[in-house]
Chain A
Amino acid sequence: MSDVEIETEHHAIKRRTLLQLGAAGAAALAVGAGASVVVPDLKQKGLMSKDGIFEDASIALAGAVYTEAFPTSPLILSPFNDLLPIPKALAPVQALTYKSWAQTPGPGLGQQNSIGNQKHQKWSSDVGSPDPVVYEMKLQVRGHSFTSSKVMPINSLGKPAVSYDANGVTYPAGTVRTLPLSTIYGFNGQFPGPMINAEYGKPVLIRIKNELDQNPLNLDRQDFGSPDWSFLTHLHNAHTAPESDGNPHYSMNNGPKTHGYQPGQWVDNLYLNWPAGGDDREKQTFFWFHDHRMDHTGSNVYKGMVGLYPIYDPKNGRDMGDERQGLRLPGVRTDNPDGSFDVAYDIPLAFFDARLDDGVTIHQDIHDGLGEFPNAKNPKKHPEWWGKTFFKHFPNHGFVGDIFTVNGTAYPVLNVKRRKYRLRFLDCSIARIYEFKLMSSTQGPKSAVSLGYTGNELQGQYRIPDGQQCMKFTEIAADGGLLPFAITRDSFELWPAKRREFIVDFTKYQDGTPTTKGDVIYLTNIMKMPDGRMWTNSSRFGLDPNYKVPMMKIVIGDAAPDDSLIPTGQIAELPPVPANWQSMMADRKIFELQRGSAGGEVEWLINGTLFDPTKPATSLKNPSGKAPLAQQKVGSFALWEIRNGGGGWVHPMHLHMEEHRTVMRNGVITMNGGDKSHPDDMSKEDLVNLDPGESVIIYRGFRDFVGPYVAHCHNLAHEDHAMMFGWEITA
């Protein structure tokens, strides 16, 4: 070998070694850097598993495939000035009046709806109750104001933006404006709709009339809300016969035999206010009613079809709205001459996030191709809708708003007395999940814009950067009614359709210091959820300490008499789960919620299929090797398993008609509590909250009525795109 060759070889070795070292170093660096970014990200999303990185990558790709643009709502310039609307109980219709109706309510054939083809499966006398108290509600087209404040139109960078009005006028950037009224379809034309204070043992019948064909104010109906103006009202989650349940598995085959009741039609929904099986342990405390029209539940709810229905239990004065009796929960009852009653210091709080049109975001939706809203001529910008509610019926990532409202008002003020209150929380949003904390702030709210935030960080519009927790909540009830024991909580999550009730003692802070008149507390949302998929930050998954969005200002006033107590012992007895429940495991019915992944209507599936309103669904194969139909005999009890099929989504799965007990979550028995992420799994519920990849086994009954019902995801964008299945109770 010559000297030249040796030298070349020598250089070659050096070069190769250098390359190898460089490649190894680069790989180590890439793996290290990648791990430091990816691992916390996966942990935060609950995807830390060998499959999680695939799901995370799919999520990112899906995000890139379905490009969606949402408007940035104008900035509300003077928040926390409008008073929180506290609903008064709706007055019933007097007997003399409804007996004079051309078609009177009653148990006979043809008396259940205006079509004349149905009867009530059970009348009030069938459960030993008096005739129902009759209410009347009309679905009406009206306008709604979310705030009386002036607003500043802004873009996603938080900069002042051009705005428009319905007359075609353009206003230059920086012009302070007043919001136009948003068009709603509301029960009695209001949002939220009326509140009925109900009582166990006193059935309620609501005649709901469709007047959506009438538009006396000549309001622009925009491009959402059921296109045929039909409705289907569901009292969530009353123990109700199918004809009064307002579910599409019923309505597509019975009664209206279509999506819902058309303009000019009415239906009498009979709510027996009678616990399942006549068992006092099945009593609940807080319902709400909302639209359930197939394919347009979300748009109808977003358009205003929401109402409140607290239910009290007068038996032995247990929970009758009188804090001097029974459980002595906060509430001072006033019986009104019209037969209704109001309860002071007992306040329902309905949370709803809205997004207002900026006039420059293109309205584009799969439903544009169906010709459902021909007048909108989408895809198209709608400057004439500036400042009105914006909705996308088919959002890939779900739909969240950037303005947070309580009882229909953005950033309201609640003036309270120095005493205990019962607060009934309801999330009536399309997809947003909240996590609430009670906070104090020395500096008060600052606009997210003024703090330099842009894009999704503008959601909620305001922050309290110096906010500190100052009070705790005492949880006394969930969607299934009173808890067996009160739970003290620093914060709590509220998923769509969930109800949770709390006692808050406004006489003192959590450290025992007494409050004083004029003190201010903020009900604050600390869960960041930029789209309808799931949160990015919350107490359970990587809290963002800077995300503290005040939603309601609470101002402490004068002291007031208080005879209520915070329960320290047992509040309620739960209906038992049989000791041998595990012997039922092999025969459980299994339903998996899945991301269908296709475009269009088949985005969401259960057990690989879309909702079929004509028949009950089929379970996945259970450990017994069977795949039974979703049918139960009346009077039976069963275990059902609900799985989150992945994809990095969360699902609030709702099962109609009876409450359930969560017996297992992710293979661990939780019915006696102990799951820190879901502390009220120990109670009765009608919603199964499914974190990514979770599996829950529930035990529930199927009593008293027969016929078709549904179960569905209560992320309403999922429900409207077929994440629903029919099930039946058979005779």
Chain B
Amino acid sequence: MSIRTSRDRVAGSLRNLQLSWTTVVLIAALAALADIFVMITLGGAVGAIERLTPPFERWIRDSIIVLPLFVLAVVGAMYTAKKLVGDRKGWAKMATTLAIITVFVTVLGILVNAASSGYDYYLQLKLLQTSEHLRHPTYLIQNGTPVLVSGRGTCDLTCQAQHATLASHIKALGITSIVLLISNTALVLWAVAIRGGRLWMPAKQRRAAVVGTQRMPVLAEAVA
């Protein structure tokens, strides 16, 4: 009984949002494809060797996997926008909504990239710790005699490599975050433009939704 109520409540909220589901899915799909492209690029540049599977297949697969997250992000962004600007009309509402969508999908993209990068770093640490190559002694000459050294201070060769690896991940994440912001802004604007500026449900469907006869908004929109 309570489950049914929750489901109804979610469905009701979505109805009340009066979203253009085609636009939502389009934005989510484009953002997923772009952000996963960036994630794979990130992996190719600084990621773990174990995960360097053929990138094209991985791009398609991972984009499909994260698509629901991006749909949620877009819906969440539009919900937030509606809360912020209410039923006002015009460019201000459009601009605010687009900005919030961009921020939401970009934050999600950065999180996905960070998670991927974190997993890469974990795998790389494992490789470093098992590497015999990094355990060989290092010598330098002091007062004319070879002296065994193993790094500077308490940081040995493995530790140095860990630091260098982490630094490369952080820097790469910083660069890709900027790339994500730019690419997501462009894609959101483009997706809304190709939909003729339609972010919300058309007026006819809105009226139908308000009276509660519209239960399948996406289908209805498609038919319309």
Contact = CB atoms under 8 A, between A and B. Distances in A.
Interface in B125-157: 127-128, 131-134, 136-141, 144, 146, 149, 151-152, 155, 157
A722 B131 CA distance: 10
Contacts of A613: 132-133, 136
Interface stretch (A35-43, A530-538, A591-599): A591-599
Contacts of A596: 49, 127
Indicate the size class of the contact surface on chain B.
Answer: 35 or more
B99 to A, nearest CB: 18
B111 interface: no
A173 interface: no
Contacts of A455: none
A601 B55 contact: no
A62 interface: yes
Interface stretch (B72-80, B192-200, B205-213, B216-224): B192-200
A22 B131 CA distance: 55
Interface in A366-399: 366, 369-374
A15 B134 contact: no
A370 B137 CA distance: 11
A599 B168 contact: yes
A370 B45 contact: no
Interface stretch (A225-233, A404-412, A462-470, A621-629): A225-233
B151 A58 contact: no
B52 interface: yes
A713 to B, nearest CB: 15
Interface string B93-121: 00000000000000000000000000010
A55 interface: yes
Interface string A14-25: 011101101110
Contact of A598 (B132, B137, B168, B171): B168
A602 interface: yes
B29 interface: no
A511 interface: no
Contact of B124 (A20, A230, A252, A598): A598
Given A262-B146, A599-B167, A51 B56 contact: yes
Given A54-B56, A65-B168, A252-B136, A598 B141 contact: no
A54 B55 contact: yes
Contacts, number: 190
Contacts of A602: 124, 127-128, 131, 134, 161, 165
Interface in A5-58: 15-17, 19-20, 22-24, 26-27, 50-51, 54-55, 57-58
Nearest to A372: B140
B45 A62 contact: yes
A19 B192 CA distance: 9
Nearest to A55: B44
B201 to A, nearest CB: 14
Contact of A597 (B44, B152, B162, B198): B44
A605 interface: yes
B49 A608 contact: yes
Contacts of A23: 190, 193-194
B164 A55 contact: no
B46 interface: yes
Nearest to B59: A54
Contact of A54 (B37, B144, B165): B37
Contact of A26 (B48, B52, B139, B190): B190
Contacts of B141: 213, 227-229, 263
B172 A65 contact: yes
B41 interface: yes
A645 B44 CA distance: 11
Nearest to B203: A9
Q: Which 6 A-B residue pairings sit nearest by Cβ, starting from the closest?
A: A58-B44, A16-B196, A599-B164, A600-B161, A228-B139, A54-B55
7 contacts: A61-B172, A263-B146, A369-B155, A370-B152, A599-B165, A599-B166, A601-B134
Interface of B: 37, 40-50, 52, 54-56, 59, 120, 124, 127-128, 131-134, 136-141, 144, 146, 149, 151-152, 155, 157, 160-168, 171-172, 175-176, 190, 192-198
Given A597-B120, A599-B168, 7 more contacts: A20-B195, A50-B56, A262-B146, A366-B160, A597-B47, A645-B52, A722-B133
